């Protein structure tokens, strides 16, 4: 208390500075307060709505189970990462390790990646619909949805990997080349392992986007509540939640789904922090 | 043998780098090839400036949606940017390390919450409050603006904070040495140096707000008319697509794709502004 009083005392001559201070306090408090409100409200109102039949293996209109959607979400994340991570890492390796400074290709890749990261998810959804569902005549397919999302998170993986590769000191490369290793060996044995923390944090961010995505999936992977094959429709948890809300009959289940989604997001955030800490310590 | 492998892998890396170029080209081709013919068929002026959207009668005017998107985005900026601005200054320059370790994850968590959850929160919390305050259904321009204003906070804070941190410390120290208070030093010596970075953050926020779909659709009411006041319902470009794409056929479907083209072009322009600004702030 004494300290705060002393601080306020020192502002006596400077009312304008005090006003600025207060504005900053209010803004920060609001930002954090809103986050706490959203998370707290959904957890407190939602957890009582969780019931075992919502986790039944099969979906029907009676139990409105979210289990198929949960399994789909996990499958979707794996499939998207399987496509996007190798491409993103490969592209980043080219940009950092091979490309000459200021080459036209590098500039083009940067500009297009920037463009991709700004495109709204509904535009991705329509693009995926036009390409996979109509042009390829696949209809709504899980694979179409995964490919669409893979393009969507590609710039994220690319950028974080690029930063991580750039952060590896040049002496590592010089040392490896000096010992007679080729550039491939240098990349896979020396550079990539030391860039892992950065890459992992990018991948985790990507998982978060896939889990939360709705608009890009509705017209690509569709909204059927079953665990699909690659070429049939299946909805993820976020799409499941939208379907519940737009039908308007299942508020309880919507609360429960929101809780599960939020818990996943919390875990992802905590996990990324934990991994970053653990890997930087080593 | 070894050389051949090195060469092949180099080609593979180049190919992966080209994927993002190919994706942008493909997206452009597919959006424009499917959208432009519809715009031509409806007539560009009728389409862009038509005030009536009646798919049943083959009347496709998207002016209400364009205006709706602009209103909602402007509202989000008015509500969100001041909060984000002051919060980012606090995070970058004033809060101690202990506090930062709590505040920063909270902001990051905010960025991670799925938009459908924001929409749900808006539907069950903000809409009833607005109903009591302003009457009507509670789904309105104002409600959507508030929700979007919240949703753009982490985006704007993230960019603004890092651009404030990028300003050399000597600016701040110099101002302090001249006898200015900490607040004055930050706001009048450091912030001018971070101006274009902060602006880039705001523009990124605008892009987010215009492109946001699932949250807006829950709280905006979605009537395709130009709203007369803040308490009226509104439909944005994005929600127009999501709501009707499921059952649209023929020209209606093409008109929805054309709506996405308009949105796409808007976003491209916004992105150009943003990257131009960021380049300038980098120099």
Pick from B113, B88, B118: nearest CA to B201: B88
Digit-coded pLDDT (tens) for B222-265: 888 898 888 888 999 999 999 898 888 888 999 999 999 999 99
Per residue in A256-266, pLDDT tens?
999 999 999 88
Report the helix count and the strand count for chain A, using DSSP H and E. 12, 0
B22 pLDDT higher than 60 = yes
CA distances, A183 to each of A14, A122, A188, B13, B16 (Å): 61, 41, 9, 12, 17
Domain ranges of chain B: 2-48, 63-282
Picking from A94, A59, A11, the residue whose alpha carbon sits closest to that of residue A244 is A59
User: Would the pLDDT of B154 be above 80?
Assistant: yes
A247 interface with B at CB cutoff 8 Å: no
CATH class of A53-281: mainly alpha
| Contact across the interface for A211 and B114, Cβ inside 8 Å | yes
A7, B66 contact by CB (below 8 A): no
Query: In this complex, do A24 and B90 lie within 8 Å of one another by their Cβ atoms?
Result: yes
Q: How far is B281 from chain A (nearest CA, A)?
A: 16
B170 touches chain A (CB under 8 A): no
Distance of alpha carbon B153 from alpha carbon B237, whole angstroms = 22
> Would you state the torsion angle of the CA atoms of residues A29, A34, A39, A40, taken in this order, to the nearest 10 degrees?
70
Residue labelled with tokens 């109903």: B131
CA-based nearest residue in chain B for residue A268: B112
* Residues of chain A neighbouring B15 (CB-CB closer than 8 A): 90
- Shortest CA distance to A215 belongs to which of B214, B152, B204, B195? B214
Place B20 in a pLDDT band, splitting at 50, 70 and 90.
Answer: very high
Inter-chain contact A118–B90, Cβ cutoff 8 Å? no
User: Across the interface, which of A99, A120, A154 has its CB nearest the CB of B19?
Assistant: A154
Q: Is A33 on the interface with B (CB under 8 A)?
A: no
Which residues contact residue A212 at a Cβ distance below 8 angstroms, ignoring those fewer than 6 apart?
A: A238, A261, A265, B112, B113, B114, B115, B116, B117
Alpha carbon of A275: minimum distance to chain B alpha carbons (Å) = 14
If you measure CA to CA, which chain B residue comes closest to A267? B109
* Chain B CB contacts of A207 below 8 Å: none
Chain A residues closer than 8 Å to B222 by CB:
none
Please name the residue of chain B whose CA is at the shortest distance from the CA of residue A257: B117
pLDDT band at B145 (very low <50, low <70, confident <90, very high): very high
State the Cα–Cα distance between residues A41 and A33, nearest whole angstrom: 12
Round to whole Å and give the CA distance between A22 and A9.
14
CA distance B106 to chain A (A): 6
pLDDT in tens, A123-165: 999 999 999 998 998 889 999 999 999 999 999 999 999 999 9
With an 8 Å Cβ cutoff, is A27 touching chain B?
yes
CB-based contact B164:B95 (threshold 8 Å): no
Residue B238 contacts A where some CB pair is shorter than 8 Å: yes
Closest CA to A258 of B215, B222, B211: B215
**Ramachandran angles phi, psi of B181, nearest 5°:** -70, 170
Q: Is B231 helix (H, G, I), strand (E, B) or coil?
A: coil
Which B residues in the span 115-134 are in contact with A, Cβ-Cβ below 8 Å? 115-121, 123-125
CA distances from B267 to A65, A209, B207, B239, B270 (A): 38, 19, 6, 16, 5
Q: Which residue in chain A is spatially nearest to B81 when comparing CA positions? A: A27
B20, B181, B210: residue with CB nearest A155: B20
Closest-CA residue to B106 (of B44, B153, B48): B153
Q: Which residues in chain A are closer than 8 Å to B17, comparing Cβ atoms?
A: 90-91, 94-95, 99, 105, 109
Query: B9 and A119 in contact by Cβ < 8 A?
Result: no
DSSP helix/strand/coil, A37: helix
Which helix (H) or strand (E) element contains residue B60? strand B59-60
**pLDDT tens, position by position, B23-81:** 999 999 999 999 999 999 999 999 999 889 998 888 899 999 999 999 999 999 999 99
Question: Is the confidence at residue B280, as pLDDT, over 80?
Answer: no
Q: Which residues contact B140 (CB under 8 A, 6 or more apart)?
A: B130, B134, B220, B221, B227, B230, B231, B232, B233, B234
Superfamily (CATH H level) for B63-282: MetI-like (1.10.3720.10)
Task: Report how far residue B79's alpha carbon sits from residue B176's, in angstroms, rounded to the nearest whole number.
Answer: 32
Neighbours of B119 (CB within 10 A): 26
Residue-level pLDDT, tens digit, chain A, 282 residues: 666 666 666 677 788 888 999 999 999 999 999 999 999 999 999 999 888 888 877 787 777 888 889 999 999 999 999 999 999 999 999 999 898 877 889 989 988 998 998 899 999 999 999 999 989 988 899 999 999 999 999 999 999 999 999 989 999 999 999 998 888 889 999 899 888 888 888 898 899 999 999 999 998 998 888 888 888 888 999 999 999 988 878 888 899 999 999 999 888 888 877 877 776 655
Any CB–CB contact under 8 A between B276 and chain A?
no
How far off is chain A from B39, nearest CA to CA, in Å?
Answer: 17
Q: What are phi and psi of B178, to 5 degrees?
A: -80, 0
Residues of chain A with Cβ-Cβ distance to B124 below 8 Å are: 45
CB contact under 8 A, B14 and A238: no
Angle between helices B141-165 and B195-211 (to 10 degrees): 150
Asked if B117 lies within 8 A of A183 by C-beta distance, the reply is: no
Q: Residues 224 to 243 of A: which have CB under 8 A from any B CB?
A: 238, 241-242
Q: Would you state the pLDDT for residue A282?
A: 54
CA closest to B275 among chain A residues: A114
Please report the number of interchain residue pairs, chain A to chain B, with beta-carbon separation below 8 angstroms.
Answer: 243
Which residue of chain A is at minimal alpha-carbon distance from B203? Answer: A118
Can you tell me the distance from the alpha carbon of A249 to that of A251, in angstroms, rounded to the nearest whole number? 6
Asked casually if ipTM beats, i.e. exceeds, 0.95, the reply is no
Phi and psi (nearest 5°) for B234?
-150, 150
Contacts of A89 in chain B (CB under 8 A): 16
As a whole number of angstroms, the distance between CA A22 and CA A70 comes to 44
Confidence of residue B152 (pLDDT cuts 50, 70, 90): very high
């Amino acid at each position: 208390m004494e300290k705060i009083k002393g601080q306020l005392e020192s502002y006596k001559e400077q009312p304008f500075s005090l006003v600025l201070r207060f504005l900053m306090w209010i803004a920060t408090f609001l930002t954090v307060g809103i986050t706490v409100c959203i998370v707290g409200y959904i957890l407190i109102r939602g957890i009582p709505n969780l019931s075992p039949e919502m986790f039944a293996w099969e979906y029907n209109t009676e139990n409105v189970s979210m289990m198929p959607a949960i399994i789909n979400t996990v499958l979707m994340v794996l499939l998207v990462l399987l496509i996007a991570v190798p491409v993103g890492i490969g592209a980043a390796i080219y940009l950092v390790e091979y490309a000459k400074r200021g080459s036209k290709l590098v500039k083009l890749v940067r500009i297009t990646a920037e463009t991709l990261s700004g495109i709204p998810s509904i535009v991705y959804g329509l693009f995926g619909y036009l390409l996979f569902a109509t042009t390829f005549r696949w209809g709504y397919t899980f694979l179409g949805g995964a490919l669409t999302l893979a393009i969507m998170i590609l710039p994220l993986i690319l950028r974080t990997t690029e930063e991580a590769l750039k952060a590896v000191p040049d002496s590592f490369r010089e040392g490896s080349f000096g010992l007679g290793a080729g550039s491939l060996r240098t990349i896979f044995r020396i550079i990539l392992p030391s860039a892992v923390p950065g890459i992992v944090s990018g991948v985790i961010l990507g998982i978060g986007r896939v889990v939360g995505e709705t608009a890009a999936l509705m017209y690509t992977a569709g909204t059927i509540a079953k665990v699909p094959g690659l070429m049939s429709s299946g909805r993820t948890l976020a799409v499941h939640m939208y379907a519940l809300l737009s039908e308007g009959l299942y508020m309880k289940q919507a609360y429960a789904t929101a809780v599960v989604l939020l818990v996943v997001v919390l875990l992802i955030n905590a996990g990324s922090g934990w991994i970053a800490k653990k890997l930087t310590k080593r | 043998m070894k050389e051949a492998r090195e060469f092949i892998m180099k080609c593979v890396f180049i190919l992966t780098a080209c994927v993002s170029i190919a994706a942008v080209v493909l997206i452009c081709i597919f959006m424009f090839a499917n959208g432009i013919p519809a715009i031509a068929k409806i007539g560009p002026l009728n389409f862009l400036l038509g005030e009536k959207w009646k798919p049943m009668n083959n009347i496709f005017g998207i002016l209400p949606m364009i205006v709706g998107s602009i209103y909602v985005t402007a509202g989000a900026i008015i509500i969100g940017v001041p909060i984000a601005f002051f919060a980012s200054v606090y995070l970058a320059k004033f809060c101690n390390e202990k506090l930062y370790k709590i505040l920063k994850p909270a902001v990051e968590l905010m960025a991670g919450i799925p938009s459908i959850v924001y929409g749900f929160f808006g539907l069950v919390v903000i809409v009833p409050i607005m109903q009591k305050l302003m009457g009507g259904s509670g789904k309105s321009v104002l409600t959507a603006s508030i929700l979007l204003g919240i949703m753009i906070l982490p985006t704007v804070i993230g960019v603004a904070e890092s651009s404030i941190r990028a300003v050399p410390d000597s600016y701040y120290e110099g101002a302090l040495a001249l006898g200015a208070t900490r607040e004055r030093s930050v706001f009048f010596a450091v912030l001018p140096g971070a101006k274009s970075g902060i602006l880039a953050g705001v523009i990124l926020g605008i892009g987010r707000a215009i492109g946001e779909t699932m949250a807006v659709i829950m709280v905006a009411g979605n009537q395709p008319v130009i709203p007369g006041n803040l308490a009226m319902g509104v439909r944005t470009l994005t929600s127009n697509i999501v709501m009707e794409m499921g059952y649209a056929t023929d020209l209606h479907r093409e008109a929805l794709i054309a709506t996405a083209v308009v949105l796409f072009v808007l976003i491209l322009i916004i992105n150009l502004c943003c990257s131009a600004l960021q380049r300038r702030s980098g120099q």
